[in-house]
Amino acid sequence: MTALAARFRFARDGFTLDVDLDLPSGVTGILGPSGAGKTTLLRLVAGLERCRDGDVQLGERVWQRRGERQFTPTHDRGIGFVFQEPSLFPHLDVRRNLAYGWKRTPVDARHLAFDDAVDLLDLANLMDRGADRLSGGERQRVAIARALLAGPELLCFDEPLANVDPEQRHDVLGFLERVPSEVAVPLIYVSHNREEVTRLADFLVLLRDGRVEASGPVASALTDLDTPLAHAGDAGVVLVGRIEAHDDGDGLSTLVVGDRQLLVSRIDRSIGESVRVRVAARDVSIALERAASTSILNILDATVSKVAPTASGQVTVQLQIGRETILARITKRSVIRLGLVPGRKVYAQIKGVAVVR
């Protein structure tokens, strides 16, 4: 079901953005190199940029429609926007920054209590600080809480980690991952960092030179060999699994993904919870027989569904494992030696499974 429909044709300074998007609810990741128009797209959706030739509709509400004068200004759209650069009000302390949108939000439009947002982003001991006495990561945590407190109907995150120190990035990402379950509104997450996006997103849009290169649910967008995503050096897939059992002796947890099982390092969560794991293409190798003596724990029977060369001379192999699709990155020589063609039954040896959420 479409949550946000956005269509724009927008030209400025020799750059043209021409997109037509139907985004589902949940988290949409917009990926693309810098200059692809990601930020412009987000600003158009939020109404911070005006474009005559555009339609934006969130659920039942029309924010703008081509050929009609009606244009809902940003302050009436209910947008929670987190900017790339530091954007806290320098003349207000953290508490008053958080309260700015909260005060202006009608009580029935609020999603969560003031103190809950403070706890969610762990801001309790920063409340009296000025914006200039916060680290980059702290600032973005405040900005995220401030956006959540303004009762948004749509969250727009524009590279929120771009100006955060690498050491703090991981922490902030951890906080970001909690947002979708706390505030159930569509979230658009713009980034050029694939790892960030695949950790968060359910739906992916790939933007290049102002156009949509590919879009779709994250699992299929990442494994579609027709898109450049599957060929990048850090290509990989995201799988959703359920925790079946823990083995504290060996420090492992068993996940059920589709109709198969995966062993991963012990996850600190309860049995029955769902987790997202990422399997990088370069961590998957292929064998024709099941290796008996190997250190690899996860060996699954698979069927080759597609084989495509990458620009770097290696080959990306798309594998079906039950209902799931994964990618393997191997050399051209191995493809020939093993005779890998679509339909071939093989064993996928998965060296690493990273739990992302």
CB closer to other proteins, 151 vs 241: 151
Encoded tokens for 92:
């207000």
Binding flag, residue 15, other proteins (CB under 8 A): no
Q: Rounded to an integer, what distance in angstroms lies between the CA atom of residue 158 and that of residue 70?
A: 26
Residue 54 buriedness (CB in 10 A; 0-12 / 13-18 / 19+): buried
Q: Residue 77 Cβ, how far from other proteins at the closest point, in Å?
A: 8
The correct pick among 73, 174, 339, 342 for binding other proteins (CB under 8 A) is: 73
Q: Tell me which of 26, 57, 59, 100 binds other proteins, using CB under 8 A.
A: 100
Tell me how far apart the terminal alpha carbons of the chain are, to the nearest angstrom.
24
195-210 exposure pattern, b = at least 16 Cβ within 10 A, e = fewer: ebbbbbbbbbbbbbeb
Query: What part of residues 45-64 is at the interface with other proteins (CB under 8 A)?
Result: 46, 48
Do the Cβ atoms of 233 and 324 come closer than 8 Å?
no
Query: Of the candidates 146, 199, 276, 329, which one interacts with other proteins according to CB under 8 A?
Result: 146
92 or 296: whose CB is closer to other proteins?
A: 92
Count other C-beta atoms under 10 Å from residue 306's C-beta: 18
DSSP of 171-237: HHHHHHHHHHHHS-S-EEEEES-HHHHHHH-SEEEEEETTEEEEEEEHHHHHH-TTSGGGGSTT-EE
Contact call for residue 157 and other proteins (CB under 8 A): no
Is residue 144 packed enough to be buried (19+ CB in 10 Å), middle (13-18) or exposed (0-12)? Answer: buried
Give the binding-site size for other proteins (rule: CB under 8 A): 25
* Residues 261, 255 contacting (CB under 8 angstroms): yes
Residue 314 sits in the site that holds other proteins (CB under 8 A):
no
Only one of the segments 85-93, 170-178, 272-280, 336-344 lies at the binding site for other proteins (rule: CB under 8 A); that segment is: 85-93
Asked whether position 229 contacts other proteins by CB under 8 A, the answer is no
Residue 83 binding other proteins, by CB under 8 A: yes
Q: How far apart are CA 10 and CA 1, in angstroms?
A: 26
Compose the 20-39 pattern: x for residues touching other proteins by CB under 8 A, - for all others: --------------------
108 touches other proteins by CB under 8 A: no
The two tokens of residue 301 are: 């029977």
Tell whether residue 287 is a contact of other proteins (CB under 8 A).
no
Min dist CB 75 to other proteins, Å, is 5
Residue 61 or 104 having the CB closest to other proteins: 104
For the chain, what percentages of helix, strand and coil (3-state, to nearest 5) are there?
A: 25, 40, 35
44 belongs to the binding site for other proteins (CB under 8 A): no
- Choose between 64 and 318: whose C-beta lies nearer to other proteins: 64
Regarding 186 and contact with other proteins (CB under 8 A), the answer is: no
**Residue 230's closest CA among 216, 244, 210, 248?**
216
The dihedrals phi and psi of 115, each to the nearest 5 degrees, come to: -70, -25
Judge whether 194 and 278 are in contact, CB under 8 Å.
no
Instruction: Give least dist CB 138 to other proteins, A.
Output: 17
Stretch that binds other proteins, among 101-109, 200-208, 284-292, 349-357 (CB under 8 A): 101-109
Q: Which position among 74, 163, 220, 254 is part of the footprint of other proteins (CB under 8 A)? A: 74
Nearer to other proteins, 132 or 248 (CB): 132
Per rule CB under 8 A, is residue 189 in the interface with other proteins? no
347 binds other proteins (CB under 8 A): no
Q: Quick one: 26 or 86, whose CB is closer to other proteins?
A: 86
C-alpha to C-alpha distance for 176 and 85, rounded to whole angstroms: 17
Site residues for other proteins per CB under 8 A: 46, 48, 73-76, 78-81, 83, 85, 87, 89-91, 100-101, 104-105, 130, 146-147, 150-151
